[in-house]
Copies of this chain bind each other. A is one copy, B any other.
Amino acid sequence: MPRTTIADVARVSGFSQATVSRVLMGQAKHIREDTRQRILDTVEALGYHPSNAARSLKSKRSCTLGVVGYGLEYYGPSCTLSGIEQEASRTGYTILLHLIRQPETNDVAQLLQEMSSRYVDGIIWAVPEIANNRAWLKEKSFKPSVPVVFLTMETQPDQVIVAVDNYGGALLVTRHLITQGCQNIGLITGPMDWWEARERKRGWRDALESVGMSASESWVVEGNWSTSSGEEGLAILLSQHPELDGLFACNDRMALGALKTARERSLRVPEDLAVVGFDDMPDTTYYCPSLSTVRQDMIELGRLAVRELGRAIEEHQSDQPLAPKTVLLQPELLVRESSRLKRP
Q: Which residues of A contact B (CB under 8 A)?
A: 3, 49-54, 56-57, 62, 64, 67, 72-75, 78-79, 81-82, 85-86, 89, 94-99, 101, 113-114, 116-119, 145, 227, 231, 253, 256-257, 259-260, 263, 282-283, 285-288, 299
Contacts and interface: CB of A to CB of B under 8 A. Distances in A.
A54 B57 CA distance: 6
6 contacts: A52-B119, A53-B53, A64-B96, A85-B98, A97-B97, A257-B286
A95 B94 contact: no
A51 B117 contact: yes
A64 B145 CA distance: 22
Contacts of A57: 51, 53-54, 57
A94 B94 contact: no
Contact of A98 (B67, B95, B227, B299): B95
Contact of A286 (B145, B227, B282): B227
Contacts of A288: 260, 263, 288
A89 B69 CA distance: 13
Contacts of A52: 53, 117-119
Contacts of A79: 72-73
A62 B73 contact: no
B89 A82 contact: no
Contact of A96 (B74, B86, B95): B95
